[in-house]
Amino acid sequence: MIHLENVSVTYRLIRERRSTFQAHIINYLKGKRVEIETLRALQGVSLDVSRGESLGIIGHNGAGKSTLLKVISGVIKPVEGTIQVEGRIAPLIELTAGFDPELTGRENIYLNASILGFSRREIDRKCDRIIDFSELQEFIDSPLKNYSSGMVSRLGFSIATEVDPDILIIDEVLAVGDASFKRKSMERIREFRNNGITILFVSHNMEEIGFLCGTVVWLDHGSIKMIGEPGMVIQSYDSQQVGCPL
């Protein structure tokens, strides 16, 4: 369902710090040298994910986990390699993207769901379920600017998981919200898995990874260091992290 072959992604980083964009342009016009560093976020990644597989992705901050998900989602393009993805993707990567803080929660449901490809009729049918799952009934007609970040994320999760995807891509979205909502969210993700939906799941919570995933990929500095059964990969990863900050 997902095939990556020798995929690489690079970012250009400007090392010279300037207080404003105008200051940067002025120095450029004066011929002052700007130091640019190329960061290889992914390096020759090859990966196959089968239909119905639940794949966990682990690694330290900056290892390339989110970049990998964005490549598969089509958010960014690789500089090298090929990608083939079959099926409709529901990316739970940046849950607050596409929201307007001046609109109410209800209005944002229609806005965000339309961006995800819902028709007006589909949104009408799903709106009450989205509100019920988010547990935001009391606030749903208040402007989003009055919501906490956790409330906004809950609304985003509730909208995104009403999509009927072939592939569900999840990037640390369970890190927000209270314990009760986290459990409910995990249960919904497990329902997707039990229904044969392909899942890619990024988390620093090894318990969640082991509970949900049948296979785990360990990314290290943009490359796959290890792939295999969750217990084996997690044990190897944890043993390296002893004494090392994530």
In a domain, 46, yes or no: no
Q: Domain range for residue 107? A: 52-241
- 207, amino acid identity: E
CATH number, residue 142: 3.40.50.300
CA distance 212 to 199: 9
pTM of the model: 0.81
| Residue 134 covered by a domain | yes
Rg (the chain; Cα; Å): 20
Question: Residue 197 in contact with residue 20, Cβ under 8 Å?
Answer: no
Query: Does some domain include residue 29?
Result: no
Instruction: Examine residue 42 and state whether it is found in any structural domain, yes or no.
Output: no
pLDDT tens over the chain, length 246 residues:
899 999 999 987 666 555 566 766 776 676 666 666 778 899 999 999 999 999 999 999 999 999 999 999 998 999 999 999 999 888 888 777 779 999 999 999 999 888 878 899 999 999 999 999 999 999 999 999 999 988 998 898 899 888 788 999 998 766 656 788 888 888 999 999 999 999 999 999 999 999 999 999 999 999 999 999 999 999 999 998 765 544
The pLDDT assigned to 92 comes to 83
Q: What distance in Å separates the CA atoms of residue 228 and residue 218, rounded to the nearest whole number?
A: 9
Instruction: Provide the CB-side half-sphere exposure for 51 (13 A, CA).
Output: 7
The structure tokens listed for 219 are 């990314």
Strands (E), the chain: 2-14, 36-49, 54-58, 80-85, 89-92, 167-171, 198-202, 215-220, 223-228
On whether residue 31 sits in a domain, the answer given is: no
Is residue 220 situated within a structural domain?
yes
Given a contact cutoff of 8 angstroms between Cβ atoms, the answer to whether 220 and 60 are in contact is: yes
pLDDT of residue 15: 61
Q: What is the pLDDT of residue 33?
A: 60
Give the total number of structural domains in the chain. 1
Residue with tokens 């989602």: 73
CA 28 to chain centre: 35
pLDDT of residue 246: 46
Is 210 within the bounds of a domain? yes
Q: Is residue 45 part of a domain?
A: no
Contact 106, 131 (CB under 8 A): yes
Inter-residue contact 119 to 127 (CB < 8 Å): no
